[in-house]
Chain A
């Protein structure tokens, strides 16, 4: 190579390198914590939801509407599938946020499915 290495002792190379790797990643760890601390957007995110809910006017739900609304789990979907979907969603950090499980587009057109996906994506 034509270069003269600082040392050729593998033990010293290992010790120096592992020290540097740990120092760099520890500093990076604290930088991440610092970013979290100075994050101006983090405060807004959590407490808003309950306040909004409190401000909303209470609207009575007609019993007929409730009766017409589809069930949270569509018929024909086995409970094992529901369990797997819920577990996967929970694993991604959205515990308790599965509101309904329905088979998309099993009787609609591709246009309808596309519109539905777009609406979900906007949310």
Chain B
């Protein structure tokens, strides 16, 4: 009888400590959301490298009694530390810098203006978010989704609205993966057939001197002007310097392969871990996802409008389609410009021309984030 009693008490203890005893309907829904995101990542291949870890992190975050965020240090807490203390986004930028070729931008610097114009989506969404009741910090964090830059969105969210990080990250990466679906209708709607058929002049060759000096000069100028984003911009340019210097191949290789892959796993999983039921299952999440779409569409439209202006000013030398690449999403947005251009006129290669505004968009989004941090913090 005593043994039976002990067995029963033990069973009771195991049950009480198990996740099942504290499992809520919300946890169940979030695990389903995680499974849906996994399906989108691995079956539909929507940004699988990031959405995959985010989805799995979301599932992990909804197991009760795991103690992931308790007093004691553990791997999940360490990963979360890297996100909440803005360690991972700059490291991702280091890798992005090592993968980015600034030559198209250096060959035609005027495309920087397209990267600036596309940031209008950020502020359209910011206004929209404030109209529906978010405070200014939350609205700024939501608006940056329009920059289509995952690391910058995460960076700004952790500084201004950490409680919205999960929803903002999911919205940002989902829309980045949906660029080929979201942008073409807007591009066709806002440009004429004749504009889409414009063949742009070949880019001039860019010397190694220019490619090496640019990241150094840009870092000095932007970091002095906007210190809050010195870590982001500095890492982006350092990675690029590794690539362009020609004498740091090993560092460049590490930054654009091993390092970015490792940090992507941590960043994705850690972001997913912020998607607990109590934080994510709110009407706000749906609003954020809707506002993210508005931001994205606004950014695309802003870039196109400025592309049309540049087309007029230059007497038809600029194809306005490259304006939509001003929303970062490197290199997906540039590929979309290329595809739409090719459909309008076979043989019209816009890819390299669109890479200019595309990388300008990365800088523009970081600058927008830095300005908002300077204003709002």
Contact = CB atoms under 8 A, between A and B. Distances in A.
B123 interface: yes
Interface string B79-109: 0000000000000000000000000011001
Interface stretch (A54-62, A69-77, A90-98, A111-119): A90-98
Given A1-B160, A95-B202, A10 B130 contact: yes
* Most chain A CB inside 10 Å of its own CB: which residue of B214, B363, B371: B371
A73 B209 CA distance: 36
A100 interface: no
A21 B205 contact: no
Nearest to B103: A93
Does more than half of chain B's interface fall in helix, strand or loop, or is it mixed?
Answer: helix
Contacts of B112: 25-26, 28-29, 32
B225 interface: yes
A33 B106 CA distance: 8
A11 interface: yes
A28 to B, nearest CB: 6
Contact of B105 (A6, A16, A30, A32): A32
B113 A22 contact: yes
A13 B136 contact: yes
A27 to B, nearest CB: 7
A11 B136 CA distance: 12
B203 to A, nearest CB: 6
A106 interface: no
B137 interface: yes
Contact of B352 (A10, A33, A39, A93): A93
B221 A21 contact: no
A16 B371 contact: yes
Interface in B319-377: 347, 349, 351-352, 360, 363-364, 367-368, 371-372, 375-377
Contacts of B217: 31, 35
B205 A13 contact: no
A92 B352 contact: yes
B126 interface: yes
Contacts of B241: none
Given A17-B372, A35-B213, A40-B209, A1 B113 contact: no
Contacts of B293: none
B160 A13 contact: no
A48 interface: no
A109 interface: no
B183 interface: no
A29 B110 contact: yes
B153 interface: no
Contacts of B349: 87-88, 90-91
Nearest to A42: B207
Contacts of B226: 24
Interface string B104-139: 011001101101100110111011001100011101
B347 A87 contact: yes
A1 B377 contact: yes
Contacts of A14: 120, 123-124, 126-127
23 contacts: A5-B136, A10-B126, A13-B123, A13-B136, A13-B140, A14-B126, A14-B127, A18-B116, A18-B123, A21-B367, A21-B371, A24-B222, A25-B112, A26-B116, A29-B113, A31-B214, A32-B106, A32-B112, A35-B213, A36-B210, A42-B209, A45-B207, A87-B347
Given A1-B377, A10-B123, A24-B367, 19 more contacts: A5-B377, A8-B130, A8-B136, A10-B130, A10-B139, A13-B140, A14-B123, A17-B375, A21-B116, A21-B364, A22-B116, A26-B113, A28-B109, A28-B221, A31-B221, A32-B105, A32-B214, A42-B207, A93-B205
Interface of A: 1, 3, 5-8, 10-11, 13-14, 16-18, 20-22, 24-33, 35-36, 39-42, 45, 87-88, 90-93, 95
Interface of B: 105-106, 109-110, 112-113, 115-116, 119-120, 122-124, 126-127, 130-131, 135-137, 139-140, 160, 202-203, 205, 207-210, 213-214, 217-218, 221-222, 225-226, 347, 349, 351-352, 360, 363-364, 367-368, 371-372, 375-377
The 5 tightest CB contacts between A and B, nearest first, are A91-B349, A14-B123, A10-B127, A32-B109, A29-B109
